Chains A and B, each alone.
Chain A
Amino acid sequence: MFSKLWRSEMPGLFAEPLLILVAMGVGLGAYVTMEEGEKYVEFIAPGVVAAYAMFSASFECTYGSFVRMKFQKTYDAIITTPLNIEDVVAGEIFWGATRSFITACAVLAIAAAFGLVNSWWALLIPPLAVLAGLMFSSIAMLFTSLAPAIYTFNYYFTLIITPMFFFSGVFFPLSAFPTLVQHLSWIAPLTPVVNLMRSLISGQPGEGAWWGLAIVIGITVVFFALSLFTMRRRILK
């Protein structure tokens, strides 16, 4: 009823995952020794899908949402209709998840073109990307509802999103880190998504897949509810 497509635009994000796969996977991969004939690019492909699902949702629900909320006053316009602020927030989060879905499909298609997808389980990647998109959109939305100014999102990306990109097992296994970092990494929401993606793309269930799924759902529920609450407080003064 309310999840509105605000606009249709082709994300410029497609080019970047392709670059990463080529530069890191093929280029850097030539210097990386993997076990039993596995290629490095195969290792990072599922992580790149997960990471770009995260980026799409995060950009949409931080900068995108903030501009609509603060500069275009779109929220103010919509809440004068029968929709209330919770509908608007939910619509934003579902739209963020839609962006994750589109991006994940595109990256998956690129990976498949490289011959990196080995399992029919990979068909579950787009639905998983939606779930991950809901989670990252909800987290971003909470941040947006509290952000005093648009510059604040620099902190969000440099302190939260980028570290997750590097320390959630996208480019190397977590076992490469000291134990403390490994534990920290398990708190990062991207880690279970990367692990799940990896299981699906290879067709081999990794350790703790169900736990991973439960963590993703749990974080989503908590942040979704919180962002509804904080956005109501911000908009309905």
Chain B
Amino acid sequence: MPIIEVRNVVKRFGSIVAVAGIDLDVEEGECFGLLGPNGAGKTSLVRMIIATSPISQGSIRVDGKDVDKEPRRIKANIGVVPQEENLDIDLTVLQNLTTFARYFDIPKAEARERALANLQLFELSDRQQSKIDELSGGMKRRLLIARSLINQPKLLILDEPTVGLDPQTKHLVWQKLRSLKEQGVTLLLCTQNMEEAWHLCDRVAIMNEGKIIVLGGPQELLAIYGGRQILEASPGYEDKDYVLQKLREAGFEWQEVEETLYVFQGDDQVLDDSLRQKLGVRNERSPTLEDVFLRLTGRSLTE
């Protein structure tokens, strides 16, 4: 049975439709990535899943329970890592965890034990008496994840868990998330970081304008939408119309982001030399998930 079942869910804010009819199953034990540009509806969808935002239409079940009917029982078994840091600055690092544990009705002694273990796991043991203001951004983020695990959740929901982190901390977080997955925790990851999705996710859904436009394994999506290689080109202004015309005739797909033209070259597609010249190819490389993302969600600024 899927741990999250989203059925025809719509979210409206007045006349704005943030989520425009989504069906989605997240399987137990997988790491599922929700990708999409800003304003695609990811956060709205996640807030409905964790029962902190009413569903305008449709239904969501988490671990077999309806989020409208049993929010407390659902929330008892999930952990949430918010994008915006919301630690309690009046408490120490350790108290932040033990206080949070009390909201789950975890007995005091047990709460302390789990808090200390989680701090150790995230390499924060020596900071347990620190005030929140004394922590660096990376430490706060690690503490947020440590806090989200205090109830030993079956499902962990993370919103941009590594945004703004240095590479060392980012890799530490990824490694912890991987080991959680190995222990059987289901991960739902909202991210803009394609590298993160590539490294962690078993399956990803790319959202745009309130809908899921594609869903599949990262490799699978890359194989379907990435083509054989990517040409990064910057054609001269006067040649541009001609170049695009030629590309269209030859059946190429491309994506224009600011000054750069990303041309997706498929397995059987060949670019003739004169066109290549006019294109002004600067770089040829293997496609990444980011190219897939750009190709599917359109131009650089959708807002």
Contact = CB atoms under 8 A, between A and B. Distances in A.
Contacts of A4: 99, 102-103
A160 to B, nearest CB: 28
Contacts of B195: none
The CB with the most chain B CB atoms within 10 A, among A2, A6, A7, A80, is that of: A80
Interface in A1-52: 1-2, 4, 6-7
A73 B53 contact: no
Interface residues of B, number: 28
B213 interface: no
Interface in A57-112: 72-74, 76-84
Contacts of A234: none
Given A4-B102, A73-B84, A80 B50 contact: yes
Interface stretch (B87-95, B225-233, B237-245, B288-296): B87-95
A79 B52 contact: yes
A76 B86 contact: yes
B52 A74 contact: no
B99 A82 contact: no
B80 A82 contact: no
Interface residues of A, number: 20
A81 B88 contact: no
B86 A73 contact: yes
A80 B100 CA distance: 10
B160 to A, nearest CB: 15
A81 B104 contact: yes
A107 to B, nearest CB: 25
A209 B53 CA distance: 45
B56 to A, nearest CB: 11
A176 interface: no
Contacts of A73: 82, 84-86
Interface in B109-127: none
A84 B52 CA distance: 8
A236 B88 contact: no
B76 interface: yes
Given A7-B90, A72-B89, A81-B104, A236 B82 contact: no
B236 interface: no
Contacts of A74: 86, 88
A85 to B, nearest CB: 9
B13 A237 contact: yes
Contacts of B151: 81
A77 B82 contact: yes
Contacts of B71: 84
B299 interface: no
B105 A6 contact: no
A168 B84 CA distance: 44
A115 B54 CA distance: 57
Of all A-B residue pairs in the complex, the 5 with the closest CB atoms, nearest first, are A73-B86, A81-B103, A7-B90, A80-B80, A77-B86
18 contacts: A4-B99, A6-B88, A7-B88, A72-B86, A73-B85, A76-B86, A77-B100, A78-B103, A80-B80, A81-B100, A81-B104, A81-B151, A82-B72, A82-B104, A82-B105, A83-B103, A235-B52, A236-B53
Interface of B: 13, 50, 52-54, 71-73, 75-76, 78, 80, 82, 84-91, 99-100, 102-105, 151
Given A4-B103, A80-B82, A82-B103, 17 more contacts: A7-B88, A7-B90, A72-B86, A72-B88, A74-B86, A77-B86, A77-B87, A77-B88, A78-B103, A80-B75, A81-B104, A81-B151, A82-B104, A83-B72, A84-B72, A236-B54, A237-B13
